[in-house]
Amino acid sequence: MNTAEKIRLKGIKATPQRQLVYEVLEVSCHAPIDEITKKVHTKNPCITVASIYRILDSFCEVGLVSLLNHPGGKSYYDITPTMHHHIYTDDNKVLDYVDEELTELIKNRLREGQFKDLNIEQILVQIFAKK
Q: Which residues bind its own copies (CB under 8 A)?
A: 60, 66-73, 75, 87, 89, 95, 97, 99, 102, 105-106, 109-110, 115, 118-131
Cα separation, 52 vs 47, whole angstroms? 7
Contact assessment for residue 52 and residue 40, using Cβ atoms and an 8 Å cutoff: yes
| Residue nearer to DNA on the CB measure, 48 or 92 | 48
SS3 69: strand
Alpha-helix runs per DSSP H in 16-87: 16-27, 33-43, 49-62
Query: Min. distance of Cβ 71 from DNA in angstroms?
Result: 11
Contact assessment for residue 19 and residue 26, using Cβ atoms and an 8 Å cutoff: no
70 binds, among DNA, its own copies, none (CB under 5 to 8 A by kind): its own copies
CA torsion sign for 108, 114, 118, 124 is negative
Interface residue with DNA among 9, 26, 38, 48 (CB under 7 A) is 48
16 binds, among its own copies, DNA, none (CB under 5 to 8 A by kind): DNA
Of residues 53-112, those binding DNA (CB under 7 A): 53-55, 57-58, 72-75
